[in-house]
Amino acid sequence: MSRHQIRFILGITVLGLILALGYLSSQVGKDPATARLIDELSTPDVTEETMVQRMTEFRRVKMQDGKKVWEIVARQARYFADTNAVVIDTPEVSLYFGDGEALALRCQEGTVHLDGESELLHIELRGNLEMQMGDISLKTDRATYDRQKNTISSDGVMHVVGQGFTLEGKGYTVAVDTKQLTLNAEVYTTVTRESG
């Protein structure tokens, strides 16, 4: 193909793009879907004002002495540089005990707060929060994991279901180091008899 033919093809392509953009621009006022499409195409993921960075298949792991300390996996995440926070969608958070067993947490949304050196400070979890520790299931609406204290806590209601019992209380703290749950108030326990 000669240079003249290549220039002609490039010229036709550029002209086609200009005409297509001109047509889309003229339709902005007429068609809301077209206006939305143009807005989406012209809005970058990272803006100078908020420095939002979008990530898919988000995964972070903290290792210490060759062992996992915590792990966060989420379908999607948004990093906000001005607050040094990461908002995560449908996260799965695993907190590891010294013996390698894990406390698994799942919920609708979470916010990971980092210090100036990108170290985890705490995680706020909210929306149908479920925790699984061995054969015990814990359900609540929200919780905060404090890395320094290594605790999960909230003033909300906690429902606990284990083999042969159910438990409910308001306000709770889970000490990750010792696997200990403390309910603060309005504690109700039901023991069920095992059929055998």
Question: pLDDT tier at 9 (50, 70, 90 boundaries)?
Answer: low
* pTM score: 0.68
Domain ranges of the chain: 3-42, 52-191
Name the CATH architecture for the domain at 52-191. Answer: Sandwich (2.60)
Give the pLDDT mean for 93-115: 89
Considering just the CA atoms, what is the radius of gyration of the chain in Å?
26
Segment 97-112 mean pLDDT: 88
pLDDT in tens, 10-44: 556 555 556 555 555 555 555 555 455 444 444 44
Mean pLDDT of 118-144: 90
The tens digit of pLDDT for each residue in 146-165 reads 999 999 999 999 999 988 89
2 or 113, greater pLDDT: 113
Over residues 72-82, the mean pLDDT reads: 91
In this prediction, residue 128 has a pLDDT band, given cuts at 50, 70 and 90, of: very high
3-class secondary structure per residue, the chain: CCHHHHHHHHHHHHHHHHHHHHHHHHHCCCCHHHHHHHHHHHCCCCCCCCCEEEEEEEEEEEEECCEEEEEEEEEEEEEECCCCEEEEECCEEEEECCCCCEEEEECCEEEEEECCCCCEEEEEEEEEEEEEECCEEEEEEEEEEECCCCEEEEEEEEEEEECCEEEEEEEEEEECCCCEEEEEEEEEEEECCCCC
